Structure 1
Amino acid sequence: MRVLRLWLMESGVKTKGLTGWMSLAMGLCMLMGSSQFAQGQNACANPRFPGDFSVDKAKVCVGSSVNIVGVPNNLISAQYNFEYDGKSTIDKVTLAPTKAHTYSVPGSYTIIQSGAGNGAGTGTIFCKEVIVLATDQVKFTVNICSGRRAILVPDGSTLGQYDSYEIRWGDGTVERKTRAELTNQPSHTYSNSSNQTPTIQLQGVYNPPADCKSTTSLATISLVGAATQPTISSLKTTSDNTIDIDYQVSTGVSVQLYQKINGAYVSTGKTSTGGGTFTVQTDAKQVQCFQVVTQDACNSTPMKSDEVCSLVLDAKAANKQNDLSWQPYAGTATQFRFYRIRRNGAVNGQVPSRTTSTYSDNTNITCGTQYCYSLEATVGPTTVTSQQVCVNGINDGTPGDIEGVVVSIENNRPRIVASLPTTSASSTYTLVVSRANGSSGSYQQVGTLVNQNSYVDDSADPSAGSYCYQVSYLSACGLTSKPSEPVCTVFLTSNSAKGIDWSATSPFTPSTVAEYIVEVIDSVNNTKREIRVSSNTHLDLTDADLESQTQKYRIITASSDGTVSYSNFYTFRSEVKIWLPDAFTPDGDGMNEVFLAKGIYLDQFRMTIFDRWGEVVFTTTDKLQGWDGTINGQRALEGQYLYRIEVIDQTNLKTVRTGGVLLVRSKR
């Protein structure tokens, strides 16, 4: 109640008489009885003794100082509160002699002054309003346009209460815009010599007395040069519902893909920046047309590529040819150059006229072979490629003859190799192999080969006789060539005691036999040697050949063109031979003194002599040792004795010979 007390004292000085005091007392009672007084009142409202001061700025930005100026010299003990709440009595307000203050929060503030003097006595009060302005960033984005042009797009929610807005475009250009001008999205075009990546700055600006700016917002952009017409470099149909479109456009320029629907172009919604590829899901079995169109945020006049349309190819197989058809190219016709037909990836033909829509391929069409075609159109800088279509060739011509057949014994089985026909052949075929036992037998099918020309007859035993074969070619269309001329295995055997023989049938066709060569494989060390016998089919073995009980042979048949065929292996075996006398005379005259077994091819030997009662009187395993007619060193009695000879020959075969021998002594 300091202010009230000072006011009463001052009233006592100036008021004289009962009337003055009563009026004062009545006013105080009314004041104190009011609810406003009880709750506190704005000390700035109707002060009894007003003070006085000024501020250097009635408007300031957040972070700026407000300074008290213009305080009367006769106002003493002046104190201030820079953020008076507008409702507290003066004795409830914290005051300080400070005459400067910095605000950190925007808003409207009341500065209250309290002091004494100023010609009005103590208890003077004076208030002033100060506006503190926000300095928040004015946010924005930039639309980059072709032709090195940029459009500034402000965020309307961040415009604040600025009086104007300052744009620094980053090339030395500075512009001041009103709120309305900024809202209309100002644009700027950069010269060709300016920086390619300028930084744009934007600030909100307050007019005096605040005379301050917002925090700067920045955006660095990359300029885009003048747009050129986009180009579709290729359009390729990759499946029944997919088309790939490669395009080229100036760096940084945005494009959108358009597709013709019911005669009018509509956006596909596919966009990109710079060159690249668009993949479109559509009915690719129908012709589809496209354009690539430039676009930017500046509503620049768009530039369109030439119209490019897909190709849809159809292929049908006919006898000895495949017929192709398509709809003539429907895109920009002025740049059309030619069609190119590819078969299995290789160029098969070229058509110069855009209006031509058929092509027949009759080059080496074979039955059952798959042929895959694609159609290319070269249109200016664009290559349009259809989806690949495939057909199986048809050829009703009977296959040509089997060119040649050879049969040879390999790994103890006949192996037949056929040379395929050179005319009307197909990539998919079957060889039918038939066999006869000997050259006069009837032929029966023994096997087939699919897409192979070599057959091994596992059911034949070439050491049992000669086999003859014929081969037929069956095309994928079910047409069969006539059977080949027969070829027969050469069968090697022996028809005499000292020779080998082989069959004279030819293992070749159409070649003939030029000569036979006998291959001899040594039974001891397995070495080989060859004996040329010209056209003979018999070879007499020499004594040298017969020195070993067994010898292995094979016939090599050579044709006139150098082809060879092998026969079966044959092992010539001589029987073990043993010579024994019927009687011997161990009488000391030096003649026929020993009973001795002689033979050839003997490897292991045992001889046992028995008397008439079956008792063993002599035994030996030495084939060079005989019985001298003694028993335990005593002369044996004359008469008949029995013998048993066991021999294992060089082929490990056992032979047993039994018989009787007569022991005779001379009469002297």
Structure 2
Amino acid sequence: MRSVKFLYLWLLLGMLLSPAEPALAQACTSSPNPPACTFVAVDVQTNQIVEKLCVGRAVRFDLCSGRPPLVYFYQVLSGTNAYPNPCGPGLRPSPFVYTPTAAGPVTVTENGQAQAGGGVSTIYFRVFEVYDNPVPAFTVAACSPGFVQVTLPGAPYNSYTVQIGSSTFAAQPGQVRTFPVPPGATSITVAGIYSDSDLCTRSATQPLPQLAAPGPLVIQRLSVQSSSVVLETAPLVAGYSYTVEQADFATPTTFQAVPGAVANGLSGFTVPAARPGYYRLRRTDICQQAQAISEPVSTLTLTAQPAERRNELVWQLGPNPATYELTRNGTPLPAPPPAARSYSDTAVACGLRYTYRLTARYAGGVSSVSEAVSVLATATQAPATPRLLATFDERNRVVLTASVARFPSTGQLTYLRDNTVLGTTAARTLRDSLASYSPETAPCYQVRFEDDCANRSAVSAAFCPVVLAAELAGTRNSAVRLRWSGLRGAPAAATADSLRYRLLVLNPDNTVRNSYAVSSRGTYLDQLLPTDLQAVRYRLEVTGAGLPAASYSNIASAVRPLEAYVPTAFTPNGDGLNDVLEVKGRFLRTYTFTVVDRNGQEVFRGTDRTQAWDGRIRGQQPVLGAYVWRFEAVDAAGKTVVQHGTVTIVK
């Protein structure tokens, strides 16, 4: 501390005694006749003399060889020829270390003060350039495997070195360069270099990005959707650039980029306001090292126009596909041949709207799909005459079923019975009921059709279903005579396939109990009546002659009389003969049988044939005499049968 104070005192004394030294209120001026070398800047870290200074790197100022032993002071000001004013207050004694903080020129002032006893004070100046040394702000992008693209910064460095693994490359500021990546390299280091300064360099290191192998470039499905075209591709790989290109049908080899294409993630592109023609994809990486072009796929433009009871389809497509797939309302139609560019759909009905979609399939699973197009079928000609089937159901209602070629559900059907309109409906089935049926007056039905374009068909041929009648015959009603009307209106009564009649004998639940093949002559005598049924039910089944299904007659029944027999006397004496009073007869199932005495008191009641009267009254022995009985039952036809009589108990 004492030596520093001593130096300041010498400086002050020298300034007061020497007229050549600058006054404190004046700017510093250079001493005349400076030596060839006044002072130098020395890098503190390397102890090397430097001509250029670096931001953040310390230097000290040393005298050149041969300088006199004065007391030296230094001051650094920013700028060229930036002299201290006033001269003196900012000067610092040697040794003086200076660390630049900003790039640009600086002026270093050296003031040498003579010591007492000799020497001349001096002031010299030197201008140094300070270089900035920022971390190089470079970017690196992955290319196809084995390459990277590096974008180098511009100022302040004069040049750069790029080190990747064991390889080092020279590069210039602002360059965008593609470099090969040596095997095993994992990072990249970029160093900035000044051409006239080895000490102001600085570097930065980044990991090497990885880009996956590109994979196949295939448009798997091209579909037209409204005014857009949608390209569905094999999975695309991130990191590559993809461009949609299009060529018109007239110039199929002249492709141009489509600027409005929108990426659908990594699965394809959507092209709004798309033009018909060929589409393909171009792939590149940022280094232009992985260029590839997909095979072009053509759009499929489908149009549909109505004609007389047919729809005409026309389409535009590039090369012929391997196969076509054509659908109407979602249902496949017969496929057109590969070379086809049109199709006529004749299986259409007037007034119906049909929607078509066409798909062209190529090798490798590639397909081109049209937009779905709709058309309303029209016609001016009369539709086909409908076909009619009439049959009785199990409730003896006539069920009419109509069908019209090409019109499975639309249009209106008018049903007629004996030329009288039953009703008009879109339904293909109608039921008709009559109070009674007779073979002599069998009803006949017809139908006509009107499509949604108001075209009316001819009236169908009359269809007359079989009407069956049954009546009891023979001794004690032991047989049933059947008669029926013949079926009329079968589509084709050809000899090889004439109508076949089968007589069905039914159980009470309408299941078939027995059946017989009968002729169409209209009569049959059934002598094999079931013994357990009071009512015998019959039905005729008619098939063949082109009938789409069996036609059945009404169900006809023959009800035999219910018979009950009660004896006039019985002998409840325990001898095993006529000991009980029981009801006998035919078709007895449930009934009410009561016995009353002479006073009108009920002495017995039975409801089926398992119950018999042994003559006892409230457990007492039988009393001889006459009694009155009453029998009541409901037969199979729903008729109530009542019988009365007397019975006598005898010994």
TM-score, normalization: structure 2? 0.60
Q: Is the contact made by 1:521 and 1:529 (CA closer than 8 Å) also made in structure 2?
A: yes
For residues 626-641 of structure 1, the aligned pairs below 5 Å read: none
Question: Of 209, 217, 238, which aligns to 2:225?
Answer: 238
Change (3 A) 1:196 1:42: same
1:57 aligns with 2:50: yes
Q: Is the contact made by 1:257 and 1:290 (CA closer than 8 Å) also made in structure 2?
A: yes
Alignment-mate amino acid for residue 484 of structure 2? A
Alignment partner, residue 606 of structure 1: 594
Alignment partner, residue 415 of structure 2: 434
Following TM superposition, by how much is the alpha carbon of 1:59 offset from its aligned partner in structure 2, in angstroms? 2.6
For residues 364-403 of structure 1, the aligned pairs below 5 Å read: 367=350, 387=371, 389-393=373-377, 398-400=382-384
Question: Of 414, 428, 446, which aligns to 1:470?
Answer: 446
Alignment partner, residue 215 of structure 1: 203
For residues 183-582 of structure 1, the aligned pairs below 5 Å read: 186=175, 202-208=190-196, 211-216=199-204, 237-239=224-226, 241-244=227-230, 252=240, 255=243, 269-270=259-260, 279-282=270-273, 315-319=304-308, 322=311, 344=327, 347-348=335-336, 361=344, 367=350, 387=371, 389-393=373-377, 398-400=382-384, 405=389, 407-410=391-394, 413-417=397-401, 425-426=406-407, 429-430=410-411, 432=413, 434=415, 436=417, 442-446=419-423, 448-450=425-427, 452=428, 455=429, 457=431, 459=433, 468-475=444-451, 478-488=455-465, 490-491=467-468, 493-494=470-471, 497-500=477-480, 502=482, 504-506=484-486, 509-510=490-491, 513-521=499-507, 529-532=513-516, 534-535=518-519, 537-540=523-526, 545-547=530-532, 550-551=534-535, 553-560=537-544, 564-568=550-554, 573-577=559-563
Change (3 A) 1:340 1:585: closer
Alignment-mate amino acid for residue 318 of structure 1? A
Secondary structure, aligned partner of 1:445: strand
Following TM superposition, by how much is the alpha carbon of 1:434 offset from its aligned partner in structure 2, in angstroms? 3.3
Number of aligned residue pairs: give it. Answer: 580
Secondary structure, aligned partner of 1:215: strand
Change (3 A) 1:518 1:501: farther
Following TM superposition, by how much is the alpha carbon of 1:469 offset from its aligned partner in structure 2, in angstroms? 3.5
Change (3 A) 1:173 1:599: closer
Q: Is the contact made by 1:339 and 1:376 (CA closer than 8 Å) also made in structure 2?
A: no
Following TM superposition, by how much is the alpha carbon of 1:557 offset from its aligned partner in structure 2, in angstroms? 1.9
Distance 2:349 2:178 in 1: 68
Distance 2:119 2:505 in 1: 152
Q: Is the contact made by 1:492 and 1:567 (CA closer than 8 Å) also made in structure 2?
A: no
Alignment-mate amino acid for residue 464 of structure 2? V
Structure possessing the higher radius of gyration over alpha carbons:
1
Alignment partner, residue 131 of structure 2: 133
Distance 2:624 2:325 in 1: 109
Secondary structure, aligned partner of 1:213: strand
Secondary structure, aligned partner of 2:50: coil
Q: Is the contact made by 2:438 and 2:469 (CA closer than 8 Å) also made in structure 1?
A: no
Following TM superposition, by how much is the alpha carbon of 1:645 offset from its aligned partner in structure 2, in angstroms? 2.0
For residues 573-592 of structure 1, the aligned pairs below 5 Å read: 573-577=559-563
Distance 2:414 2:635 in 1: 42
Which runs of 5 or more residues in structure 2 are unaligned?
42-48, 79-83, 328-332
Q: Is the contact made by 1:472 and 1:484 (CA closer than 8 Å) also made in structure 2?
A: no
Following TM superposition, by how much is the alpha carbon of 1:135 offset from its aligned partner in structure 2, in angstroms? 0.6
Distance 1:376 1:579 in 2: 84
Identical-residue share of aligned pairs (%)? 16
Following TM superposition, by how much is the alpha carbon of 1:457 offset from its aligned partner in structure 2, in angstroms? 1.4
Alignment-mate amino acid for residue 504 of structure 1? W
Distance 1:599 1:500 in 2: 24
Alignment-mate amino acid for residue 215 of structure 1? S
Alignment-mate amino acid for residue 488 of structure 1? P
- What do residues 354-393 of structure 1 show as CA deviations (whole Å, max 9, x unaligned)? xxxx9673866665565666799999x9998765544445
Which runs of 5 or more residues in structure 1 are unaligned?
16-23, 330-334, 353-357
Distance 2:85 2:536 in 1: 136
Q: Is the contact made by 1:141 and 1:219 (CA closer than 8 Å) also made in structure 2?
A: no
Alignment-mate amino acid for residue 457 of structure 1? R
Alignment partner, residue 355 of structure 1: none
Q: Is the contact made by 1:246 and 1:278 (CA closer than 8 Å) also made in structure 2?
A: yes
Change (3 A) 1:125 1:203: same
Question: Of 149, 169, 183, which aligns to 1:174?
Answer: 169
Change (3 A) 1:89 1:306: same
Following TM superposition, by how much is the alpha carbon of 1:296 offset from its aligned partner in structure 2, in angstroms? 10
Alignment-mate amino acid for residue 282 of structure 1? A
Following TM superposition, by how much is the alpha carbon of 1:597 offset from its aligned partner in structure 2, in angstroms? 8.8
Distance 1:585 1:58 in 2: 158
TM-score, normalization: structure 1? 0.59
Secondary structure, aligned partner of 2:595: strand
Change (3 A) 1:606 1:320: closer
